[in-house]
């Protein structure tokens, strides 16, 4: 039922820049006429926007709750690193970036990158062990199992965590996840 109503509203609003739909609780949903964004306003004053960035091939969310706390999330195209991720964090040669994300929750920034590479779990683990040691990370931890390696450390108010797993289907390949984010203040 909603889909037919929305489709009709979009056809009627052909010349408008957006369509506004009131919600039962006093809020509203606005859909851009080109479908590139959706804005939601809640009855208590919270606001959020989801935008599809066709030129950047990503999706972003920005929101503010009723108390004024802000958050944002940027999900990028596979193959690209998120803006703001420190450039010195290494990735294995020939790694394929499979997903990336940047988030900001009231100024607490974090970044997540996943990758795949045709290297051994030992070689990729050594890359991140060396990086943590040579770049002054404190409180470092390391956990190793047969097909899994996890490393982490803290520096300058930020935490770096790396998880590396052997690919069960592609011998000699691993998947990795790098998470870099502000420590709770």
Total of domains in the chain: 2
CATH number at residue 144: 3.30.160
Sign of torsion over alpha carbons 96, 166, 119, 145 = positive
Range of 154's domain? 69-182
The verdict on 122 and 161 lying in the same domain is: yes
Per-residue model confidence (pLDDT) at position 18: 72
Whole-prediction pTM: 0.71
The verdict on 163 and 87 lying in the same domain is: yes
Residue 5 falls inside a structural domain: no
The verdict on 61 and 77 lying in the same domain is: no
The verdict on 96 and 59 lying in the same domain is: no
Top pLDDT among 134 and 11 is at 134
Summarised one tens digit per residue, pLDDT across range 50-73 is 777 665 566 767 778 888 877 766
Summarised one tens digit per residue, pLDDT across range 88-134 is 999 999 999 988 888 888 888 999 999 999 999 999 999 999 999 99
DSSP letter assigned to residue 89: S
Cα dihedral 79, 85, 86, 88 in deg (nearest 10): -20
Contact of 72 with 146, CB cutoff 8 Å:
no
Which of 30, 65, 100 is the last residue before a domain boundary? 65
């Amino acid at each position: 039922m909603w889909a037919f109503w929305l489709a009709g509203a979009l056809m009627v609003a052909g010349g408008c820049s957006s369509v506004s739909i009131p919600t039962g609780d006093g809020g509203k949903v606005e859909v851009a006429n080109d479908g590139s964004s959706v804005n939601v306003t809640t009855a208590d004053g919270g606001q959020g926007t989801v935008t599809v960035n066709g030129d950047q091939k990503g999706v972003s969310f920005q929101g503010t709750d009723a108390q004024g706390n802000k958050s944002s999330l940027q999900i990028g195209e596979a193959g690209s690193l998120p803006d703001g991720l420190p450039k010195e964090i290494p990735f294995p040669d020939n790694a394929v970036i499979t997903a990336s994300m940047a988030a900001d929750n009231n100024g607490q920034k974090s970044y997540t990158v996943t990758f795949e590479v045709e290297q051994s779990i030992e070689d990729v683990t050594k890359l991140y062990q060396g990086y943590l040691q040579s770049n002054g990370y404190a409180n470092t931890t390391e956990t190793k199992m047969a097909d899994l390696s996890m490393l982490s450390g803290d520096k300058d108010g930020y935490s770096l965590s790396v998880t590396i797993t052997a690919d069960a289907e592609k011998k000699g390949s691993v998947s990795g996840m790098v998470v870099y984010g502000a420590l709770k203040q």
